[in-house]
Structure 1
């Protein structure tokens, strides 16, 4: 079913409350800019305990819709920009051009706050396992995570350079997972570490 169908179920007071909460979770499955579980956690921070409070449930849905609509507007603007570029002979986007149509890379409307929430969520629930076995790259990334959380987002110049170096090395490792004696497991580990790095960068740029 579509996002809109699930959203209507969230608002439908004729449905059992548990089904309405489940419908919100289905909405999040379709729009989860900071990951499924982190998005649900952030919605609870924004709206309150939506699992048992109807007003909070509706606030959570409204917050999710507002962010999703801002993302869709960005997608439309990007499509219009690409159409204009093609008319001028630029058939392919540059690799550095951000493409919001692939997937929202941040929470539209509150990118910094959401990124910091996601970093706290990952540090508590998933990051410790991802960081082992430790090496210089994972230690540097963990240092950047802790620095962003301490400062509320901003990074010093040296920390930004450290983050850039971590991202470059993690991308290289993600493309060579067998070399790191992990195959597919290594690929997913490096992918998740790059997700954490993206949250650090978003928090730093928005801070």
Structure 2
């Protein structure tokens, strides 16, 4: 089923609240620009003043409105990108630029409006940091001892960077912004080609690091 089908189910006042709640979760599965869990945390935080999406149907509808507005903006971005790429290909530019939408579509990104909600991003980062802290460190037998120490240090830096963002309530300073971008780059350096066992935990870290770097990039500085 499509995003539109789930959206109509959310708005169906004849349906029981639990069914409408499930429909919103399925809608986030179809379109979750920050990843499912981070997007859900974002929506719950911004569906004020009563962000209980399971029981408060008004909050549930506010969350759906927020999600639909973001999705509409994303579709406009994709359409504009496709039109521009078509013209660029005709002009002989076959490879997208590094900052193109095609390059960053898979990364966390909240389209629409005047920018993402700071409250929503703080909630999303808090949700994903809690999950990140449950990830175990990679098996240190997979890599030499010196590299294992660097990876453990990287884990600590990412955790500290997330904690600092939350402590600043989503208003990071300049060095914190740079630190989050550096962490993303360092994780990429440790990724191995193919399906190396070390890649499994590192990709989990990378999803959190990408979200954190995006939050730093779009949040107002102190």
Same fold (TM over 0.5): yes
Could you tell me which of 168, 188, 202 is aligned with 2:185? 168
Q: CA deviation at 1:35?
A: 1.9
Secondary structure of 2:133's counterpart equals helix
- The aligned runs of 1:128-167 (5 Å cut-off) are 128-130=133-135, 132=137, 135-151=152-168, 152-157=170-175, 159-167=176-184
Once residues 125 and 135 of structure 2 are traced to their aligned partners in structure 1, the CA distance between those partners, rounded to angstroms, is 13
Unaligned runs of 5+ in 1: none
Residues 112 and 12 (structure 1), Cα distance of their counterparts in 2 relative to 1, 3 Å cut: closer
Unaligned runs of 5+ in 2: 139-150
Conserved? CA contact 1:141–1:197, under 8 Å: yes
Q: Is 1:123 matched with 2:129?
A: yes
TM-score (ref. length: structure 2): 0.79
1:118-160 CA-partner distances (Å, limit 9, x unpaired):
2111222x12133636722112222222222233243433x44
Count, aligned residues:
200
Once residues 183 and 104 of structure 2 are traced to their aligned partners in structure 1, the CA distance between those partners, rounded to angstroms, is 26
Could you tell me which of 59, 65, 68 is aligned with 1:62? 65
TM-score (ref. length: structure 1): 0.84
Supply the RMSD in Å over aligned alpha carbons: 2.4
**In proportion to residue count, which structure has more helix?**
1
Residues 205 and 117 (structure 1), Cα distance of their counterparts in 2 relative to 1, 3 Å cut: same
Residues 73 and 101 (structure 1), Cα distance of their counterparts in 2 relative to 1, 3 Å cut: farther
